[in-house]
Amino acid sequence: MNTSEKRELRRFAAEIRIALLEELKARGFGHVGGSLSICDLLAVLYGKVMNYRVEDPKWADRDKLVCSKGHAGPAIYATLALKGFFPMEQLKTLNRPGTNLPSHCDKNKTVGIDCTTGSLGQGTSQAVGMALGDKLKGRQNRVFLIVGDGEIDEGQCWEAAMFTAAKNLTNLVWIIDDNKKQLDGPTADILPTFDLRAKMEAFGFDAVRVKGNDVEALYEALEKKPEGKPVAIIMDNVKGSGVKAVEETASNHSMNVAPEVWDSYIAAVKADLEALEKEVAEA
């Protein structure tokens, strides 16, 4: 990936963060930590990796995204709106009566959402079924599955992982958002995950570990050609990533803060974006 492509993805990630924070600000509260930590990934997926048609969101051969940690929906809504799946204005309806943007991903409500999730763990098996179905139909697409590092406490995730490797579903990419926290606190204090890469390898995957905010490394991992095994990507990550003040908030799963505080988060990302633009101008 050349420098300008890389900058483009970093810019997209910042735009996603800004749209996400505006969206949460409009409602006043929401699942900010786990939404922020997938923004770089979403920028790479929707900016460069995934094949999809904005004008035909249900195109059968599209690549699909399953966000099994369904509470990160707001980050995906921001991405989809920026890509034109629906108007940006709609982001302000998050969790409002009658909205098409509920707190957890819902494929029957939101244009561009491929899988309904919210009860943690369940996206994994659905993703397996979607990938298996696509393979049986002879499609050339891929399914990308995002799983939380707290979510993998659910035994269902490991049932789905066993099945993925057993059926060698190389059209399914597992991405574990190892952001070190779940709802009640640090994952290490609740149920330590130990070596996730070794775990996934032992389950029959080709597993790689990359920094969750390194768009180039994410891109390379996502485009890695499977060599006889499905690929699992462990994102070494920080909950709330990209907004220092959120990263440093101990309890950042769901936050309810004043509009000025949301504005300060937005300003911080805007400053990063400006620095990036300057880099581009100077290059």
Ligand X SMILES: Cc1ncc(C[n+]2csc(CCOP(=O)(O)OP(=O)(O)O)c2C)c(N)n1
**Positions that interact with ligand X (CB under 6 A):** 33-34, 37, 69, 71, 118-121, 148-151, 177, 179, 181-183, 239, 253
Closest approach, Cβ 191 to another protein, in A, equals 4
The smaller minimum CB distance to another protein, of residues 24 and 234, is found at 24
Q: What is the 3-state secondary structure (H, E, C) of 215-247?
A: HHHHHHHHCCCCCCCCEEEEEECCCCCCCHHHH
Q: How far is the CB of 278 from another protein (least distance, A)?
A: 39
Question: 273: exposed, middle or buried (C-beta count within 10 Å: 0-12, 13-18, 19+)?
Answer: middle
Smallest gap, in angstroms, from Cβ of residue 153 to ligand X?
A: 8
Closer CB to another protein, 57 or 118, in the complex: 118
Phi, psi of 64 (to 5 degrees): -125, 150
Count of CB atoms situated within 10 Å of the CB of 15: 18
- Please select the residue that binds another protein; options are 121, 123, 240, 242, rule is CB under 8 A: 121
**Which does residue 258 touch among ligand X, another protein, none (CB within 5 to 8 A, set by kind)?**
none
Which residue's CB is nearer to ligand X, number 10 or number 71? 71
Q: How far is the CB of 2 from another protein (least distance, A)?
A: 41
Q: Which tokens go with 99? A: 């909205």
List C-alpha distances in Å: 61 to 15, 54, 127, 133.
27, 13, 15, 12
Q: Tell me the chain's radius of gyration from C-alpha atoms.
A: 18
The answer to whether residues 238 and 223 touch, using CB atoms and an 8 Å cutoff, is no
- Measured from the CB atom, is 97 or 228 closer to another protein? 97
Residues that bind another protein in the complex, under the rule CB under 8 A: 29, 70, 95-99, 102-104, 106, 116-121, 150-151, 153-155, 182-185, 190-191, 251
